[in-house]
Each structure stands twice: as structure tokens, then as C-alpha cells.
Structure 1
Amino acid sequence: MTFLKQNKISMIAGTALLTIALAFGGYSFASHSFEAGVATGTIPDNTHIRLDGMTLPAGGVFPLYDSSPNYVSGHFLLTSPCEPVSEGDDTYQPLITAIAGHIDEHASGTHMEPIPLFYINTVSSPTLAGTGDQCVFHAHIPDPLNGGAPRVTDIDLVNLSGEPITFAPGHVVDINIQRVLGSIADNPYEDGPYLDLNRNVIYDLNDDDHTNDGLGHSSQ
């Protein structure tokens, strides 16, 4: 990787970090301790977001979901423009990056990581139309077997591609929250600010390469 490209990626990452901070605001004495939240139990919630018509600039962040102070479990579905994970690969990755974890007014409590995504090739355009116009990805929130943030209150999209990304009809995010696992006030992150701005790790259960099946799934 050239120095120029490294510098460009660093600038994008820095812009994304600043944008996240500005998007969620900040008070030096803010705390979740005054928010009761839900200790545990079910909290059925479905959030469906159409992305069509939106252009996210390089380094741009689009906050999708915030359940603070509750950290939750559920499912995440994304349809977006996509490209092969590597040249000639039949497994695709989204151009946009989906991250999850917790955004806190205190920097030390902020922890965001890319969401491990499963590529659903049977209903994606590379299979259906031979194009990278629309790929479908699914994830478990959280996914303790395959990585990502262990406690999730916030889910965002961030553009790390270096170019603007324009979304078309059919590009959506669907977040289905099924259960509250606890309160971030009782189990906070303390290693922050931690912000992993790498691309999403992609798993594919339907290709011939079983090394990318991920954990917790059978190749049969």
C-alpha cells in the first residue's frame, strides 16, 4: 500500500470518528446512570430504513439504531451495492461498512466494531442478474462466535470506500431486536475510545470454500 493511500485511509478514518462524535453529541459529565432502561427480557422492535436516494460521502456516517442504555440481541439485514471480496471471488462484500457497539459521551466508554456479515447469494444480484447492484447480507447481533462488539446499543453505516456511495431502490436496512441483554450502565466498555474501521468480515455458507463458513454453522 502506498504512503498516499495509507494517508487517505487515515484521513477517512479520522473523518468518520469525528462525524460519529458530532452525530451523537457530547457532554463532559453525561452518564447513563440516570436511565433505568430494561434490565433483561423481551423488547420486540423492528426498524426498517430505506436507503434509496441517499448519497453517503467518503468518511460519512449514517446512524441507524440506538437502544441505549439497553444492549440488545437480534438480527441485522442489509441490502446494498457490493463487490467481490477479492478479484474473481464469488463471495461479495458491501461497499458500505456496518459497525455496531456503543457510542458514549465519554470517550472511554465508546467501542465500535464491524459487524460480521453473512452473504446471502441466492437472493443477491450477482446470482440473479450477474451484477453487483444489490447484495443481501445478514448478521446476528451480537455474534459472540464470529466476533464484533459483544454489547450492542448502537448500529451505524460508515463509508470507508474513499468515494461517495449512492443508494438505489431496494437498498434497505432492517433491524429486528428480540431481547434486552442488560444495561450498559451496569456493564460499560472501559477500553475506549475503540473504533475499528476495517471492512466487514464476510462469511458465505453457499460457496465451495468452507473456511469462510464462520462458527456456529454446519457446512452440510
Structure 2
Amino acid sequence: MKDVQVSATVTAAILLSAALAYVQPVATMAHGATGIGVLVYTHGNPANPNNPDTDNTQSIKQTLETRFGTPAETVTHMPYNWDDGLQSLDSRGANYAIFLYTDMFGPDSTVIHNVTRGAFGGISEYNYCPGPVIAGACNYMGESTAPASTVSDAVLVFAEPARPDHPILKDIFVKQAREVSTDPANEIVVLVGHGARSDTNDNAQKAELATAAAYVEDKMNFAGSLAVTAREDWPTLNGTAVANAVTAIESMMNATGAQKVVLVPATGASGFGMVANALQNEGITFVSAPKPLPLGLELYKLWASEVVAETIKFIQDTQPTQSTITPYWERTYSVSSVSALAAYLHLLQDDDHTDPDPQPGSNATALPSATTLLLAGQVMRSGDYIPIVDFTPNYVTGHLLLRVACDSAGTPAVMAVAGHIDEDANKTYVDQLHMHYLAHASAPGKSCVYHAHVEAGSDHSGAPYVTDIGLLNTGNKNVVFRTGNTVSFTIQSAPGEIGEPYSYGPGGGLSAPFNQPKQISSLMGQTPTPPEGGGGGHSHS
């Protein structure tokens, strides 16, 4: 299965957009969408064709036809009937067909979006078939998808898909949790997703679910929140995925003192039962929330109305002549205000921290300008190292932003390290990065925010020439990252490359202590140094 092209690297502008409040599209037209139809999609189940998902799409179809006066048809992948739906819209005068994906998998969370946009829509950028191509048709999960152009002249427009972190749809999870929660302050809420075979798609699912979980946590004042996936359809993956989910849940309960888990089925089917059974086997107290449907039916109809309204406006304004996605497809929804803080810090230009001795090297514009990792739900065992960036052979300057769990003194639960990790251990040198504590954005004892200036030619950054930055768990206990925990690095410059006279280890040209190797293992057992301006005594507000 091909990984959908979604990178951990994002620009500061994307970060800033993630922090902006979502503004619902203004839908002024109740009717008048002449020549526009809607295909309302759900995956389907041949063994049970009448189920809550198909009931949902039928309800959405009726809502759209009533509100916009536009023809709509429900379609499923199993059994496959996209061609039938499209031809029905043709017969009802549709020159444009909006493809409305209602299963809660966002833009980068499932390979099905390649089948819809690429194989069916004929958009070359996404035209990858995860199964064999036979006679020009994509065969996947037992169904054959040929280009829509073989049966219709209508222009397909792919609306923003349903996704767990959408401002309307995430309230469904609040409704589910409220059905079973009795004491949120002593409970953690865990959203369980279907998962994907591709790590890229699976991580995208978890990121969307983490944003939704954070919303539920804040809305109901839970002790904590997590997002996990079971990867239920892949026997070689689901055992590890479920074990990791249980470890993360157990670690969060220990960290928060919570006594119970509110387990919420978000997407998928059997995966929820896998996680529930594993919790039961471990003796972890939990309660199962009801499924999203039919509980969230009214919110789904509201979501569909808003998304179709903005898509109709896009069609009327631009009048596309070939299949396309709307500009709303790649929206980013905020998990917390840390995104705005990240954007602000990344845009800083501090003259006191420029490179004192620039050397010829790569242009920073050739490297990703910003790299952001959403850490929520990840578990670092003792000795685990998470790489954030590796710009080898370029050494760089820039800003690091970190939000992680911390103690009452503002000391982070993990250590940020920087330096150069070489294939040759004798040419490796890493050390703790000097961090600054941001009191106004921190809550000591829970989560704290830090930033660091990565410089060149100074050991203030842990090492004078930095190609690698990462996080290290130097303690003897697991560290579980909570919703909102994030690390982000933005390049300010890339002055040169590692090499004589800027290389570490014996004969490398640098003075002591950098003329001797220092590996990650040498930092184990050390407590992260309390950052400058540590959090002791600061308000938790």
C-alpha cells in the first residue's frame, strides 16, 4: 500500500493556520445549485447492507436535497455502485458531481482517498491503485474502480472528507463520552480508531483523533486523553498496535492518577473490541461508550450541509473543467494554542543568536523550513530516542519549541539533545540542549513549554555544529505523551557542512571536549537540567 504523501515537515504558516479559529462557511443558498449533484459515500458492508452508516448517508442525502434542491445519491465501495450513482446524477441534469466522503478518515488517513480521487476521479496526482490494475480499472478489496469519465461527462469535485477533528463532528465524541462518564476528573478518555497498514496513514489518523480527544478532555474536564488505533485489518500489525495502545493507556493512568478509562469507538469496527479485550485482560477498569451512530446523526447532517455549501460556492466561483479537490481538503485543525506559540517563535529573528562564523555550505531554502511532530499517544521507554531532525551533512541554526510533561519545578520529563550522530561512533557527539522555560505558556506539574536557540560555533547548543536534534528518555520509567505535547524545529540558516575542520572525534579539528566522541548512551541516567527560568513557584493558570 502506498503511503499518502504527508510529511512531518510543515511551514510556520501552516502552524499559524492550525491555530486560527475555524470559521464555518457561510451558506447563503438554500436552492439554486443548478447542474450540481452530490454522491454521498460510505464504505458499505455487503453482509449487512442496511446499517447505521448507510442510514446516515440516506439521511444526509435527504437533507441535502431538501436544503439545496440538488440531486443526491448514496454510494458505497462494497458493494461498488459509484458508476450507478454518477449516471443517476447525469440523468437528473448534473454537470458537476460533488463526492462527499462521510466515513471519518481525514485527508491523509486512508488509501481509499487515492482510489476515489485518482482511480475514479482521474486526478493524476493521486492516481495510485493499492491493488492490481486490470483493463484500466483499479481492483481493491474485491471491487473494480474504472475512471468516472468512462460512464459520465460530469466534472467530479471532491469535498473535504469527514474527519474526527472537524469542529462539528468532534462533538459526536463528547456525546458518546457523556453517555457513560460518571467522574471525568478521575477518568481518562481514549478514542479508538481503525488504523491503517501504512505508518504514514496510521499516524495521520492518530493525529486527527488526538485533536478530537483533546477537545473532549477540555470539554468534560477529563484527567487526560489519548488517541489509539488497532490496525484491525492487518494480522501482522494489530497485535503490536493493541499492545502499544494498552501501554500508553496504562502509563497515562499512572501519570494522572485516573481510576477508569472511558473507551470511545471513533472509527472502525472490530478494533475497538480488540482494545477493550486487552484492557480487560490487563485488569484495567474501563467503560465502553456507544458507537458514533445513530447518536451523532444530527451533527453529521449539519456537517454535510456546511461542507456541501462551501463546495457549491467553490464550483460556482471557479467553474472547474476537470476533476479536482476543493481548497478546503487540506485544512488543519488546532489541537491547542501551542500551535500559535510555535508559529510566533518560528517567525522570530533574534540578532543575538545568529551564526558568529558562517561557513560555505548548503542554502537553508533547500531544506525543510520547519519540522513538527505531534507526540500525543506516543510512549518513550527508558533509553528511547526520538529523532526530530537530521540534516546531515548540513549543520544548522534555528529555534526549537517543545511542549511535554514536566515536574513542579519545570523540569521536562525528557531531554532534548543536539549534536551530530555519525555512522562512525567515534565521530558522534551529542549533548543536552540548553532550554529556556516559557512560564506564561506552562503549567508546572502537568505540561511545560520550552524553547531553545540552536547556534553554530558555540557549545551553548549542546554541541557547536548541530545536524541532529532529538528527544531522549534518560530516566528508568516510561514517559507517555499527552494530547497537546508537541516538538517543532525551524531552520534559521544552514551555514556549512560537517567535515574538516568542523567534525567531531579524534583528528576532527575541534578542540576539547569535542575532539572525543560522546554517544547518546552516555546521557542515560542523567536528569534533564532544569531550564533557564524554571517553573518552580509559577502559577498554574
Report the TM-score when normalising by structure 1.
0.66
Q: What do the CA deviations read for 1:179-220 (whole angstroms, capped 9, x no partner)?
A: 012100232112342135134431018989xxxxxxxxxxxx
Query: Map of 1:47-66 to 2, 5 A cutoff?
Result: 47-66=371-390
CA contact (8 A) 1:101 1:154 kept: yes
1:99 equivalent in alignment to 2:421: no
* Distance across 1 between alignment mates of 2:466 and 2:516: 15
* Distance across 2 between alignment mates of 1:182 and 1:194: 22
* Distance across 2 between alignment mates of 1:167 and 1:176: 22
Higher strand share: 1
Partner in structure 2 of residue 112 of structure 1: 430
Query: Map of 1:1-220 to 2, 5 A cutoff?
Result: 39-43=361-365, 45-84=369-408, 91-126=409-444, 132-142=445-455, 144=458, 146=460, 148-186=462-500, 187-190=502-505, 191-195=515-519, 197=523, 198-201=526-529, 202-204=531-533
Q: What do the CA deviations read for 1:36-83 (whole angstroms, capped 9, x no partner)?
A: xx7154436100100001001011111111000000000001000001
* Distance across 2 between alignment mates of 1:70 and 1:113: 18
Distance 1:107 1:145, change over 3 A: closer
* Distance across 1 between alignment mates of 2:527 and 2:495: 27
* Distance across 2 between alignment mates of 1:53 and 1:192: 37
* Distance across 1 between alignment mates of 2:536 and 2:476: 29
* Distance across 2 between alignment mates of 1:141 and 1:206: 22
Structure with larger Rg: 2
CA contact (8 A) 2:504 2:517 kept: no
* Distance across 2 between alignment mates of 1:173 and 1:77: 6
Q: RCO greater where, 1 or 2, for CA within 8 Å and sep 6 or more?
A: 1
CA contact (8 A) 2:394 2:496 kept: yes
* Distance across 2 between alignment mates of 1:45 and 1:135: 24
Partner in structure 1 of residue 356 of structure 2: none
* Distance across 1 between alignment mates of 2:372 and 2:434: 20
> Deviation at 1:146?
3.7
Letter in 2 for 1:141: V
Letter in 2 for 1:123: A
* Distance across 2 between alignment mates of 1:166 and 1:75: 24
Partner in structure 2 of residue 12 of structure 1: none
**Which 10-residue stretch deviates more, 192-201 or 72-81?**
192-201
* Distance across 1 between alignment mates of 2:423 and 2:450: 30
Note the residue ranges of structure 1 that are not aligned, 5 or more in a row.
Answer: 1-37, 85-90, 127-131, 209-220
CA contact (8 A) 1:52 1:169 kept: yes
Distance 1:205 1:48, change over 3 A: same
DSSP-derived class of the 1:94 partner: coil
Note the residue ranges of structure 2 that are not aligned, 5 or more in a row.
Answer: 1-359, 506-514
* Distance across 1 between alignment mates of 2:386 and 2:380: 8
Number of aligned residues: 160
CA contact (8 A) 2:430 2:518 kept: yes
* Distance across 2 between alignment mates of 1:205 and 1:61: 24
* Distance across 2 between alignment mates of 1:155 and 1:92: 21
Q: Which runs of 4+ in 1 moved over 4 A?
A: 205-208
CA contact (8 A) 1:71 1:152 kept: yes
Partner in structure 1 of residue 232 of structure 2: none
CA contact (8 A) 2:380 2:480 kept: yes
* Distance across 2 between alignment mates of 1:178 and 1:146: 16
> Deviation at 1:156?
1.2
* Distance across 2 between alignment mates of 1:58 and 1:206: 24
Give me the identity figure in percent: 34
CA contact (8 A) 1:53 1:169 kept: yes
**Which 10-residue stretch deviates more, 176-185 or 190-199?**
190-199
CA contact (8 A) 1:114 1:199 kept: no
* Distance across 1 between alignment mates of 2:527 and 2:494: 27
Letter in 2 for 1:106: D
